[in-house]
Structure 1
Amino acid sequence: GAALVPSALTGAALVCAADFTAQHLLPETQLPVGVVTSVVGAPYLLWLLARAGRAGRGG
């Protein structure tokens, strides 16, 4: 409930930043925004999984 708004705003900011980066990282070409989002999101997901595993909350 209470974490929904901050999570939504964080997700929107992440996608906007990834879109801006995808358009301006290489001036001669545009990267797909999903690639940039994956580069940021994959390490974060792995960190969350590792943290949950150490705390005993892993699936």
Structure 2
Amino acid sequence: MLKVNRFTPQRQLIFQVFKTLPTVNYLSAESLQLLLVERGEGMSLSTVSSQPENHGKS
């Protein structure tokens, strides 16, 4: 069964952070979570670092 990855509110917030950043080579989950907390978003590190099971696979 194909699992559909939804564009959840949490993913929308993460996407917005990346849209506002200058080009960087790497951003750790911890750094991303800190940026979200600084913006007033109460998102846990486990939510930020979770990946879909088949991320990047066809």
Regarding TM over 0.5, the answer is no
Which protein is richer in helix relative to its size?
A: 1
- Shorter chain as denominator, the TM-score bin is 0.3 to 0.5
Which structure is richer in relative contact order (CA contacts within 8 A, separation 6 or more)? 2
